[in-house]
Each structure stands twice: as C-alpha cells, then as structure tokens.
Structure 1
Amino acid sequence: MSNGAETTALPQPTFPLKAPGTAVVHAGPRQTPRIVSVPTRCAEQVLVLPGGTDVFAALEHSLTEFAVPGIMAEFLSGEFGHIDFVHPAYGPDAEHPMSFTEAFAVDVPAQLRHASATIGVRDGAPFCHIHASWTTSDNTIKGGHLLPGTLAGPKGLTIRLFALPDAQLISEVDPETGFSAFAPTPTDHEANQSKSPGLSEALETPDSVISRVRPGEILDEAVLAVCRTAGFKSAEVVASLGSTTGAVFTDGTAPWPAVEFTHLSGTVTGAKSAAPQVVLSGEVVDVAGEVHSGVIANGANPVAVTFELFVRSVS
C-alpha cells in the first residue's frame, strides 16, 4: 500500500516558499467576474452506497436518478474499500507553484473522516469532483483529491446530496490557472421544475446559491459577498470544496502554496448589516498529504485555484 506518507520521496520546491495565505497570481489571463454565482432551489436526498460500490459511478448516476443538472454532496458516514487519489504538490517553478502528486492507492478499508463532492458534467458527460480524508486501521490519517476507481468499503457509505434543479455545473479547463474547474450556469427554472418531479415540493423560489470563486478572492469575504448579492440575512455553508494558498486557522497554519479542503462549513449572520459575522471551519490536505483542521481565520485565506461554494439561506 502506498498512502503518500513517504514525504521525502515527494518532489521538493525549487523556488522560495511564501507564508501561508499569500495569494498566487497565475500565469494565464485574469478572468472576470471573480465570483460566478447561480441562485437555485435545493432539495436534499440521501444516497446509501453498499460495500463495493464504485463511488464515482454512483454519484454521477445520481444526476439522472434525481433528474437535475447539478448536485453538491457531503459524505456523512461509512468507509472506503479502495482509494485512488492525488494530493497537492509543488509546481515546476515560481510562476507555476502548485501541482498534483502522482497517483497513490489505499488498498485496505479506511474509515471516512470528511468528504465533499461536486457533480456535474465535463465534455457533455457526467463528471464528479471529490475531496476526502480517511483513517486506516493503523490510525494513519490522510486525504486528497479522489480519482475514479475509488470504492465504498464493506460498511458502505452514506452521502447527503443537495440536488440543484436550476444550476448546471460544468467542468472546463480554466485559462487563468490551467486547471479544470467547475462553474455554474443557470438553467430554465420552469423546464427543470417539470423535469424534476421529485423536487415538486421544494421551494418555488431559490433558497440557495452555488458559486465558483476564482483565485485570490478571500474565502470568508467571498461567502459574505455571495450572501449579500443573494439577499440572504443569515446563511449556512455546507458541502463546499476547493483550494486556498495554504491555510490560516485561528490556531495554526498549513503550508503554502496550496491545500485542498475536504469540506468547508459555517454560518453567516447579519449579512446585510454593518457588522456581519462569518464563522467558517474546515479540514484541508497539504503538499505532504497531511490533514489539518480548525476554525478559518477571517481575511487570511485567498483561493488558490478555485472554490466550489454552496450557501443556503437560513430563515
């Protein structure tokens, strides 16, 4: 089994490292707008995967099963049986400081810690993006960006799906960063209402927003901006994933130039007031495959490549 623990074998940086939270300017042309948001209705579903289930295939099939063009997901409980994954790595030079490792595999059952997923389309076909962390039987904790071939373990997996009938999630190569990223686009509300009978009892007006946040945007500030634009006074952040330039928590850091969030959650109160409160917590995987978690320090965490942000109104 290889789990990325042998960090000395991982490629080391050939350029000076910066402090966690230092923004990265990518080599490609800067894109606008910096936050792309689509308001949408949302309906929750629970997906139970039996042992041996292909995780990617099951999540991608859920688009058809629930007749929606986009889904955000958070894993609630269970275990993986086999994991194929990569995690953040140092890039080739200072102009391209972030990359991914080679693929690793975990071939024994591993207990789920956290995982989040975005489910949409790439090149016209269903496509899934998953970040996860896990604990193996020897109490090793690791995490990363999952790859197709990952399977549910003997105990299965339980996943909460947020089905979004009004937002198609499309993964394309971003000219600014050179990496693939999901972005939401609006769909026809009335057409999707008729095509998604399972969502007929959902709210008739949007109660959620799915956003793509571009590099350099401060994470908590982006959350607040999304809430204000949507007119939400209070909101919750769930089932969100992406990357920042290292991580700055209220009680520690994870190293620059990139970490990937296995989940981001939190609350926004008084969004439309002069003194809003944004409280976010999350777990990240760094360039050594190590896992860190805590309360996110506000004003200190720029997005590295992209962030797939899901915000729900709270009445």
Structure 2
Amino acid sequence: MLENTNATAAVVESGSMGRVAYARIAPNEDLVQSIEKLCLAEGFKNAFVRGALGSLVDACLGTAGEQPRRIKGPAVEIVSLAGEVRTAEDGSVCASLSGVVADIQGNVYGGPFVAGSNPICMTFEVTLEEWLPDDANL
C-alpha cells in the first residue's frame, strides 16, 4: 500500500489480462445487471468494460445528492461507458459502471449507472476483458 501526502491510502494491484467476451444484450434487460450476469456466465471473477455501443429506454445516473438523476427517453444514447466488475468474498459480482448519455434533445449527462434502472432500448453491444490479479493481491 502506498500513502500520499494527504494521508489517503492508495492500493496498487498487479495482474494480467485474460479472456475477452463480446455480448449483445436484449431489449428491456438492465445494463448493470446484464453485465454482472455476463461475467457469471463466462466465469469472470473480475473484468473491465472495454467497449460498448447502444441506447437505453430511460437512464438513471447516481448523483452527489440523495436522489438519482432520471433521463427520459425513448432512446437515451450511451456516449461512453467505463467500469469494472469485481467478485466479493461471498461469490457475488458487482459492476461499477459510469458513463455519459445524451437524451433525445441532445442534452448530455454523466455519472454512475444505477443498477436495476437502466433498461436497454433495442440492443446493446458490450466488450469485457477479464482481469486476473496476481495471487499476492488476494
């Protein structure tokens, strides 16, 4: 563990990249939960989002406040998507995804996607890359 001058700890993890999975997510499936299911199906304990293309019926992004921001569609376009999936000690997976979306008027919003609140519009393509941390990190 490394410490900076502000006494905040940073964790550096070493490892290597593994397999790559490409998937098409069907309409009305949730973005976050579908990526978690994909990792479970492929046996990825940890993964990074490497690419994505598609739109959502409506979007729901987390904010610094208590209430998430809801962006009404139809067809809220995902401009960018980044994130990772991690497996907890109990075997459950949790995707942390953030991105930028544009509504039908062209307004742009960004933030973390709220699980269970981002249904896919038509289809959504995503590429995941498996992350294999070194044994010393476990």
| TM-score class normalised by the smaller sequence | 0.7 to 0.9
Aligned partner of 2:102 among 267, 282, 285: 285
Match of 1:265 in 2: 82
Corresponding letter in the other structure for 2:48 = E
Q: Give 1:271 shift.
A: 6.9
Q: Give 1:257 shift.
A: 1.7
Distance 1:272 1:229 in 2: 18
1:215–1:305 contact (8 Å) kept in structure 2: yes
Distance 1:208 1:313 in 2: 6
Tell me whether 1:305 sits opposite 2:122 in the alignment.
yes
- Cα deviation 1:165-185 (Å, max 9, x = unaligned): xxxxxxxxxxxxxxxxxxxxx
SS at match of 2:28: coil
Tell me whether 1:210 sits opposite 2:22 in the alignment.
yes
Distance 1:302 1:271 in 2: 25
Tell me whether 1:220 sits opposite 2:32 in the alignment.
yes
1:31-42 equivalences under 5 Å are: none
Tell me whether 1:231 sits opposite 2:46 in the alignment.
no
- Cα deviation 1:27-56 (Å, max 9, x = unaligned): xxxxxxxxxxxxxxxxxxxxxxxxxxxxxx
Distance 2:42 2:120 in 1: 21
Q: Name stretches of at least 5 consecutive residues in structure 1 with no aligned partner.
A: 1-202
SS at match of 2:55: strand
RMSD (Å), alpha carbons: 1.8
Distance 2:86 2:54 in 1: 23
Distance 2:74 2:116 in 1: 17
1:234–1:271 contact (8 Å) kept in structure 2: no
Count matched residues: 111
Judging changes above 3 Å, is the alpha-carbon distance between structure 1 residues 271 and 246 closer, same or farther for their aligned structure 2 residues? same
2:57–2:120 contact (8 Å) kept in structure 1: yes
Judging changes above 3 Å, is the alpha-carbon distance between structure 1 residues 242 and 236 closer, same or farther for their aligned structure 2 residues? same
Where relative contact order (Cα < 8 A, 6+ residues apart) is larger, the structure is: 2
Tell me the TM-score normalized by structure 1: 0.34
SS at match of 1:207: strand
- Cα deviation 1:102-158 (Å, max 9, x = unaligned): xxxxxxxxxxxxxxxxxxxxxxxxxxxxxxxxxxxxxxxxxxxxxxxxxxxxxxxxx
Tell me whether 1:294 sits opposite 2:106 in the alignment.
no
Tell me the TM-score normalized by structure 2: 0.74
